Structure 1
Amino acid sequence: MTLILTTMGFILKILLHLSLYTGVQCVSDIRALNCKFSDQESFITDKGTHDIRFIHKNVILLFGQKGEAPVKPDTVTFLLTGTNLDLRLYLEGADEDQLECVLHRYNTNGVHVQWPLQKTQDYNYWYNCVIEHRLFTVTSFLRQPSPNPAPGHHDYHNWTVINDGDVLTTTVALVMKTNTPEVKSALGAKTKLDCQFVFDHVGADYTLEWFSYISGQRKQLFNHNSRSGLTQGTGVGMKALQKGDASYDLPAADKGSQQTFVCSVSVNPLVASLNIHWTIEEKPKVSLSVPRVLSIKEGKFERIDCRAGHYYPRDVKMIWYRYKPTALGQTLPDVLNKTHSSHMTNDDGTASLDAYIHLRPSVKDSGTQFICSVFHQSLRVPIRMSFIIQVEDPMKRLFIFYIFFSAIIMAALLYIIHSMRSARRRLFRRLPY
């Protein structure tokens, strides 16, 4: 009976653990990752104070079992073991060459506690591992047990030297992931900022925080303590939070172009966080003041407007080009001098701007193409609008007029001559002789 209850408890623990991250389907088949490691070494300065120097190395993050041979014997290897929490669950769908991995030591600021899954009071070395992909960011903490007792002061006083070829056997204690490392929203649109977290054990006492940074100012958005149950702020669903989903519903915004939002989870002695960069963007709507083919008289002065309307933020670049396909030796369009209007602010908070050129074309300019290009951070490629001019030659029109007028005169003369001849014949018929 005791064995059955123990088995059921173990199964329940696994199910609860898996429920903390419902979006995961399968384990990635990645066996090892190349990572950058920022090591730290404590030393005494000439003034007798402690200081730290940073040592940067290339290391291997190896997924395997205890005692497994390293992939590169001459390189530092972080061997990730254990089945409670597999970091590869959160790398699904990514190839090795798509991931950027960075490791560094983590200082607990003198706080040394026994980790829940740790059977002894041994000291732990902690390492923070950040893996970035263009679609997601994963941050995790690796725990390396040590038989040494807790030093009772800052970790960096007691860190051991890591030499090339060393194998550091670790387990994953905490994982956080966001599928929205970069968010672009339209003005007035609500946005969900994704943040998921999971521990290697059930029932962890943690504090979750959401805050933002704008112009260097920190603003608290949400705070929840699992032990006390106290919650401040809104935006995170409490039912979802119990399953490790700390996603934040960002209200619709009508101003502010850039902010950094931080999702932070702290569990003694660790503090993990994810930065989410948020930007408001509206693509410009571009239009010209003339049709695609513009008929214009030679020498006539014409102003052509190119308008970039309803874009956000205000930074925009507009360039006018001229290109004549029949011009000998012209491979690239010419850049034209232009004049900008002042920025116009629309009722919805977006901006508009006009860039215009002046034309006084000659007949030889007929067939020339003019292109307005608009560059904005919301566009992957610039928006281009163009038109072609057809220049009317006034002499040609006058010549046509002369021909037409002459044709009318000739027709009238012929008609008069014909009428006179007809009248003369009728007169001859009436004579008696």
Structure 2
Amino acid sequence: MKVNETKYQLRDAGLQFGQPGDSPLHSELITFLVTASKVDVRRYFKGGLDTLQCELHRHRMGGTPVRWPSLGAQEHDNWFTCTLRHTEGLFVITYFLRHSPSVPNVVQPDFQQWVPVADRDTITTTAVMMVLSHTPSVEVGLMKEQTLNCEFAVDHKSAHLTVEWHLQRKGHRSKLFSYSSHTGQSEGSGVSVKAIAKGDASLKIPLTRETSEGTYVCSVHVPPISSSHSMALQLMEPPRVSLNVNSQVSLSEGELQRVDCEAAGFYPLDVHMEWLKESLTPGASRMPEVLKVVTFSNHRNNPDGTYSLTAHFLLKPTLQDSGYRYTCRVSHDALQMPIRKSFTLSVTEKDSYLWYIPPILTILGILGFLLIRRRAVPKAPKGVYGRA
């Protein structure tokens, strides 16, 4: 059995909105002329034309020709899909274009028998259905409300509209919601059936949890057309960074001090923490030294699903360490820039009078003992004198 392979050929094409018979704006390109219909794609655009990426593909409706239920449609219409993406992720739109040839085509059983499109051809089309999302990719914190946007438009009122939401997470696909206008029945939650009647099939997540992370798929089916958009939801919670010391630390030479840097309440797990030491003396090298004696705790799981981590070291300074700044630098995917928490160290000499404190304490102890003993010795009774 011979199997025909689909071959893709990339060609330059332009999208133009206007009326039938309009001349192409760029005659050297294949022009898809989108004429007016109930599905006005332009109203959903945001940003300038230089922020849009457009892909046009042929669309196969199936082996058996089906007439689209709108005025002017034919069984042997040619179909195309156009996907517009905003370069900064503001939206993604997929809409279906129907082209009615002037001469009806015979049934086309496979891709290789499609009517060819020549360079510089103008294909007059009508947009008949559109599916849009303003949230193709979302970053949100834990325990937050989040709505995943999914809108659609059809050029006629359909009695067989189906809307479904699925979540793909760690290789498992689960159905979150489904609705059929044919039966009027819905299953699951998070989507307003009343809003679907207005073309809004957005999914509301009441409180995000660790299990909310994954890829959400909104599917809209209007026979014989089906379209879907995938939306990646990623949980991001930045760390809160704190030190167990003040911004100015004074120690005597050789005094021991444990210094903790805690990064708390972050998600996901990966975080980078390091301690830096740098001199503040004018003229000294400004290149910080990364401390090698830092010890890290185990990751701690918090009740809300976030994590915490502590990086500490034991500080036993010499006089040469005085005037240095110690900085804890924390990097995480939820941060645009690392968080830095610092303290400046001041080191003093040991007090010179400390060497004679023990002798003084000894002498004071002896004097105290003698004083107590003297008070304890009984005095001789005084004599009694009288006349004989």
The bucket for the TM-score relative to the shorter chain is 0.7 to 0.9
The counterpart of 2:130, out of the listed 168, 171, 175, is: 175
Aligned partner letter, 2:24: P
Match of 1:184 in 2: 139
For the pair 1:56 / 2:15, whether they are aligned, the reply is no
* 1:216-258 Cα shifts (integer Å, max 9, x gaps): 2111111111122222222211111111111112242432363
Match of 2:68 in 1: 115
* 1:343-390 Cα shifts (integer Å, max 9, x gaps): 111222221101123333222222211211212222222221111111
Cα distance, 1:399 vs. partner? Answer: 8.4
Distance in 1 (alpha carbons) for counterparts of 2:236 and 2:332: 9
For the pair 1:383 / 2:339, whether they are aligned, the reply is yes
Ranges in structure 1 where 5+ consecutive residues have no aligned partner: 1-46, 403-433
CA contact (8 A) 1:287 1:308 kept: yes
Distance in 1 (alpha carbons) for counterparts of 2:120 and 2:176: 45
Kindly, what percent of the aligned residue pairs are identical?
36
Match of 1:102 in 2: 55
Q: Which secondary structure does the structure 2 equivalent of 1:211 belong to?
A: strand
Match of 1:193 in 2: 148
Alpha-carbon spacing, 1:144–1:110, altered in 2? closer, same or farther (3 Å):
same
Q: Which secondary structure does the structure 2 equivalent of 1:54 belong to?
A: coil
The counterpart of 2:262, out of the listed 304, 307, 313, is: 307
- Point out the structure with the larger helix share: 1
Alpha-carbon spacing, 1:340–1:182, altered in 2? closer, same or farther (3 Å):
same
* 1:260-305 Cα shifts (integer Å, max 9, x gaps): 1111101122111111111222221111111111112223333321
For the pair 1:364 / 2:317, whether they are aligned, the reply is no
Alignment RMSD, CA only?
A: 2.4
Distance in 1 (alpha carbons) for counterparts of 2:81 and 2:136: 18
The counterpart of 1:262, out of the listed 198, 210, 217, is: 217
Match of 1:72 in 2: 26
Cα distance, 1:400 vs. partner? Answer: 12
Cα distance, 1:102 vs. partner? Answer: 2.1
Distance in 1 (alpha carbons) for counterparts of 2:209 and 2:74: 53
* 1:67-123 Cα shifts (integer Å, max 9, x gaps): 2222222222221112322211110x4111222222222222324211122435341
Aligned partner letter, 1:101: C
Match of 2:78 in 1: 125
Q: Which secondary structure does the structure 2 equivalent of 1:51 belong to?
A: coil
For the pair 1:84 / 2:38, whether they are aligned, the reply is yes
Match of 1:209 in 2: 164
Alpha-carbon spacing, 1:300–1:238, altered in 2? closer, same or farther (3 Å):
same
Q: Which secondary structure does the structure 2 equivalent of 1:114 belong to?
A: coil
Distance in 1 (alpha carbons) for counterparts of 2:114 and 2:169: 36
Cα distance, 1:175 vs. partner? Answer: 1.2
Q: Which secondary structure does the structure 2 equivalent of 1:299 belong to?
A: coil
Count of equivalent residues: 352
Distance in 2 (alpha carbons) for counterparts of 1:379 and 1:126: 45
- The 5 A counterparts of 1:329-340 are 330-337=285-292, 338-340=294-296
Large movers: runs of 4+ above 6 Å: 399-402
279-288 vs 108-117, which deviates more? Answer: 108-117
Alpha-carbon spacing, 1:390–1:153, altered in 2? closer, same or farther (3 Å):
same
TM-score, structure 1 length as denominator?
0.75
Distance in 1 (alpha carbons) for counterparts of 2:25 and 2:283: 62
Q: Which secondary structure does the structure 2 equivalent of 1:108 belong to?
A: coil
350-359 vs 177-186, which deviates more? Answer: 177-186
